[in-house]
Structure 1
Amino acid sequence: MSTAVVPTLSWNLVTRNLHGHPLLRKKLRQKIAKLERHLVRFPPDAVHLQLSLERNANKDLYTAALTLRVPSNILRSEKSGPDLIQAFDLAVKALLRELTGLKAKLRRESFWKRKARRDQLHELKSAGFAPEPQAEGEGPQSFADVLRALLQQHYSRLLRYVRRSLWHETAAGELPPNAIDARAVVDEVARQALAAPEKKPDKFSYLVWLFTLARREIVRRRRAWQAQATQVTSLDTPQPLAEQAEAAAGYDPEQPLDIIEQQLQPPIAEAKDLLPDQRTPNPAEVVADRELLAQTRKLAATWPRAEREVFELYFVEGFEPEEVAMILGRSTKAVQDLIQSVHRRLREAVTEQALV
């Protein structure tokens, strides 16, 4: 009879001016066990804890820093004191407070609301930190290494978002195909984040910040291209149709559709609007229709840019209205209004599809 393998959470220890002897590692392992129950619903392969211990060379002072990478964010705490274990214990308690706050926020997000995701998380075995840290020299050796791992984890997602955004620009006739290199945009996002991580606003998660940088870079490059573009376009120059622009812009119409899991909620309406239309299928069922979603994405090319951005960030990427507001630099109220507007457009599209 086979025994199920219980996954473990990885961690590594970086020391400066002191030796990480076995007894110290054992004490550290006991201390970080306090974090385990708060990490049970996170995929083990998306979690890593870096411990950094340093002894001041000039005075009897120790600094303990903990850097925790979770799926969408990086949490960090740092404490100093004359006693190493006491400083480390204070750092663990500070990280616990940050982790508790993060989990309280995540409980309100679609990341936890989606049934498939929720079922998957419940199937996870309770994971604990490995008995021993990774071998010396393995794992992240600095905060930049932790951030680089988060960037690598979300690189493909950021690239899909940028490609879809550029496809919308091309389909709307605002950019020609290949005017902007999607990979160059994401690489610039990584460069900016690694060069100045301290510029991340405190209220932003790292994932929200990365998407904010990506959108800003798209805007910057679009404006730069438009400033250099000629004002007169030859009538002999062929203009690509939206269908042709898809491939040219690197857009895969199938790839992003499987991540659209947002259910359509009825907008605020008059009483007559609340009466169900028997000709119209339930939007929550139709949202899984890939063909309709592909048509909706092409339809979105005719919408104002603000609605297209909300469609991508809220309906496709699953960010909460407050997070969409952060990324777009708008008020939460303005974003909620845009979401309602997109709701109406989507419901109209569902109705039109039912009447065909």
Structure 2
Amino acid sequence: MNLMTAFRNLDSYGRRRAPEVIRHEAALLERRLVRFRPELVRLEVSVSQTRGKKRIRADLRLGLPTGVIAAREEGFGIEPVLHRAFAALGRRLDRLLSRLARAPEWKRPARRARTGRLLPPAPDRAEADRRALFFDLIEDHLDHLYNVVRRELTYLEASGAVPAGRLSVRSLVAATILSGLERFEQRPTEFSVGDWLTGLAWRTIEAEARAARRAVPDDAASLDETPDQPAGEPTAADQEMFEFYQPDDLLLLEDLVADEDGEGAETLAVRREAALALHRALADLPVLWRKVVQRLHIEDETPEQTAAVLDLSAQEVARIAEAGRAFLHQRLIEAGHAPDSAEAALADAETEVAQIPQPLEDRDRIATAMTGNRDGRPHGTSNTAEHADH
């Protein structure tokens, strides 16, 4: 690290102690900068004292490949002022390193502690049998539940209703399943288990989204601190670091569009752009409207089923469906699509949505929690092949 110092109007004690304190604090700071090449790091320290007065001001400027951060402190003692200035600079450096590593997207200690294990072991045989029965009921609906959560969370993040990266599909699916386990004996019987899980998922997402909007951001700065200096233009090293830390499960509207085979490149590009425009418009729909449109046009459910799941009347479903379709049609036209292509995009909405199977790791985690085994069978049971071998 390149270190530059400047002292103005310091008394004899300040001129003697300031270099010692700066060298000590700079050495501690340098240990946190091992990811940067030393020749690309520059620390400038300026300490001044008002002529004829005892007030001291310390200005620190740390130049990194990713930009510049600074800190300033004032006081009446050279050592306390420098220690506070370096402490403030260290806090801002920690926030910068956290953003570079995208820590807010994966480092949530409280949530990780809760979701490290989906459920504790069953306390008795009756609870184990209850969990196994519940898993048998929901096993065939896990892929559908995963896609419902994935789509809705993507729309919420795309519209800005939920901070990007604040919630995860895995944790929302787990929370939905736990909610279902608590009340599955009281589940409504007028519609299927899949519809019941869908309703639970929507309520879970809505509650978690409200909590996420109220939560303090992970990289929030104190109002008592001086704002960070704006970063400079990104370098090649910045871009490499960003690509290295780019999360694989980043939610994008593009990932909701199904892949098509057997068509020409030009036709494919037109259909994909129309599908993306449709998803952007869906993200802007009011939440209730989006649920109705998805049930009717993407999941191909009947108005009666939609009304039962959403606890609406058939007249309300029809009114919302008509208004939502008109909204989407207008948005597609505003996005530059011809009326006939807009109609085609709405008609093909079901086939244009990608359906992705739930990750095997997540499914195994749920099966282990509910039955005690990764394959979904309770402890102490064996399959037919095992019986045949013996």
Shorter-chain TM-score range: 0.3 to 0.5
Higher radius of gyration, 1 or 2: 2
TM normalised by structure 2 equals 0.40
Larger proportion of helix? 2
